[in-house]
Amino acid sequence: MKKTVALLLSVLLLLAVLPVNAAALDGGCDCGCAPVIHVSGLGGSFADGDNVVFPPQTDTIVSAVAKAIPATPALLSGNLRTRQQERILQVAGTFFAPIAFDKNGEPATNARKTFTYPEEISHGKGQMIDFDYDWRMDPFTVAAQLKDFIEYVKDKTGHDSVYLVGESMGAAEMNTYLAAYGFDGISGVIWYNGGHRGVASCSDSFADKNDFNEAALSAFLKQLSVSGDQQFLYDLFVALDKAGLLSTVFDSVLSGADTLEQSGMFSRFLREYIGRIPGFWALVSGENYPAARAFAFPTPEIEAEYAGLLEKLDRYYNEVSSRTDEIMLGAKEATGTVGVVCGYGEYGPPVTSDNTRQSDSVILTVDESNGATCAPLGGTLGDGYVQKVSDGHNHVSPDNVIDASTAIFPDNTWFVKYGHHSFSGAQALVDRICYVEGFDVFADEAYPQYLVRDPATGAISPLTADNGAGKTLESGFTAKLLQAVFKVMNVFLKVYKFFANIVK
């Protein structure tokens, strides 16, 4: 009898808790929308105790400029002596000294970027849960932290899986997580303005492939003022350009930069400051890494000196940056839900080997999309262009600038013209990719493969052959007035350089 009663009680208890257990097996939440974790990009401030030490504060910048002034004449004349080169190296290092790393790729100061887990987590459509991190760290360290955060989110929301959205540098960090821990518990993956195939302005610099181009510099500066609707800045840059002062200063600075590079000062700066920070190497493409490694660590003796750091960098190259295609394709095979969101139509930082490539102002479109064919800025793919991969769909943009057929995911890659880096307004697209089964570039007329961003409102809409002209500013009287002043300054500067070259 006792056994019978015990058995009945056990059955009753089991029936009582069964709904709870069933909910747990079903994820603990019946909303039908797994949480979306947003892996943020490079940014944020670092503090040593209560003092913000990075980005540099005003007093640090003023002090650095004051120290650099004595070397300015030699820089402008391209006649930097060893003592002056050392001064410039020290000044440049001032900005990164507070967040410096040691030769093992570990923090050398007390500066930290902190991130607190949210006590309450809302999830579902229209919401992303931010994962922040110390972008300086070895990406595998960040990946381990992301793993813990994913488990925390799953526990707090009652879901057994999450979507991952990697934005900018966060795409590289997300790829590192996928390489290290695989795809279990991941419902889908989205690369959003992603630096998963390197960031050319950093990648080319590390590999000593810089190409400073005056025309691209002028275009980039004007673009910044147009994007920010800054009429005075636009007039200023137009006046500098037309007066020839921009060219004179540019040539002088370039001469000084050549002197620094030929003396080995740039590779030394790379090695002693930013090159010690593993996070920066996550922005170097797998293609450029061997050259960048050889440039920064050129001898066996230097390699031995930085062995701890190089172990981290080599691991990232071997397991992540050289396997980008494999990781992305693996995500699609494992989850069935992927999306790539790119920007185009803007100049990137004018320091790359080709300054006329399409970008979102920071990352090249070809790299964000992992392979799309792009016309040069200001040009088209040409009359009669036929897309390179025939798959039964049209993947050529209405403005005949992009051919998505060569991208890694032709049916799952969206391009936003004038989609300035980290632009807002794509939340609705992210929701559809995550929560609409089988969503691709053909599923919704409101979100076709090619979109355009209105610089004034930030809203995105379908791109047509007629609505992609973009925003412009016209130079006014201020530009003409400044141009006259700059012409006089340009004459004095050229006279100064003439006599400086005689003296040297």
| Helix/strand/coil (H/E/C) assignment for every residue in 49-107 | CCEEEECCCHHHHHHHHHHHHHHHHHHHHCCCCHHHHHHHHHHHHHHHHHHCECCCCCE
The DSSP symbol for 376 reads P
122 CB burial (10 A radius; 0-12, 13-18, 19+): exposed
Over pLDDT 90: what percentage of the chain? Answer: 52
**pLDDT tier at 395, thresholds 50, 70, 90:** very high
Answer yes or no: is pLDDT of 201 > 90.
Answer: no
**pLDDT tier at 12, thresholds 50, 70, 90:** very low
pLDDT at 296: 92
Over pLDDT 70: what percentage of the chain? Answer: 89
Residue 106 to residue 123: CA distance in whole angstroms: 35
Tell me the mean pLDDT in the region 402-419.
97
Q: Return the top range by mean pLDDT from 38-42, 227-231, 368-372, 452-456.
A: 368-372
- On whether residue 6 sits in a domain, the answer given is no
- On whether residue 11 sits in a domain, the answer given is no
Residue 93 Cα distances to 97, 110, 504, angstroms: 6, 17, 27
Answer yes or no: is pLDDT of 330 > 70.
Answer: yes
| Residue of 494 and 374 predicted with greater confidence | 374
- On whether residue 245 sits in a domain, the answer given is yes
pLDDT at 502: 62
Q: Return the top range by mean pLDDT from 209-218, 245-254, 309-318.
A: 309-318
Answer yes or no: is pLDDT of 100 > 80.
Answer: yes
| Residue of 4 and 138 predicted with greater confidence | 138
Range of the domain at 495: 31-504
- On whether residue 358 sits in a domain, the answer given is yes
pLDDT at 501: 63
pLDDT at 504: 53
**pLDDT tier at 393, thresholds 50, 70, 90:** very high
**pLDDT tier at 3, thresholds 50, 70, 90:** very low
- On whether residue 498 sits in a domain, the answer given is yes
Instruction: Answer whether the bond into residue 55 is a cis peptide, omega within 30°.
Output: yes
- What is the rounded average pLDDT for all residues in the chain? 85
Answer yes or no: is pLDDT of 253 > 50.
Answer: yes
In this structure, what are the phi and psi dihedrals at residue 364, rounded to the nearest 5 degrees? Answer: -65, 140
Q: Return the top range by mean pLDDT from 121-135, 269-283, 394-408, 411-425.
A: 394-408
pLDDT at 423: 67
Q: Give tens-digit pLDDT for 214-229.
A: 777 788 888 878 777 7
**pLDDT tier at 26, thresholds 50, 70, 90:** very low
DSSP strands (E only) in 331-412: 338-344, 373-374, 402-403
Nearest alpha-carbon partner for 165 in 198, 135, 129, 136: 129
> Which DSSP helix (H) or strand (E) runs through 334?
helix 324-335
pLDDT at 484: 80
Answer yes or no: is pLDDT of 5 > 80.
Answer: no
Q: Return the top range by mean pLDDT from 23-37, 232-246, 382-396, 452-466.
A: 382-396
| Residue of 308 and 204 predicted with greater confidence | 308
- On whether residue 9 sits in a domain, the answer given is no
**pLDDT tier at 10, thresholds 50, 70, 90:** very low
Q: Give tens-digit pLDDT for 465-482.
A: 888 887 777 887 778 887
Number of domains comprising the chain: 1
Q: What DSSP string describes 313-325? A: HHHHHHHTGGGHH
- On whether residue 101 sits in a domain, the answer given is yes
**pLDDT tier at 77, thresholds 50, 70, 90:** low
Answer yes or no: is pLDDT of 19 > 90.
Answer: no
Range with the poorest average pLDDT among 68-72, 75-79, 253-257, 344-348: 75-79
CB of 376 closer than 8 Å to CB of 216:
no
Relative orientation angle of helices 82-96 and 245-262, to the nearest 10 degrees:
100
Global confidence as pTM: 0.87
Answer yes or no: is pLDDT of 117 > 70.
Answer: yes
Tell me the mean pLDDT in the region 391-418.
96
pLDDT at 462: 96
Answer yes or no: is pLDDT of 433 > 90.
Answer: yes
- On whether residue 12 sits in a domain, the answer given is no
Q: Return the top range by mean pLDDT from 96-100, 136-140, 359-363.
A: 136-140
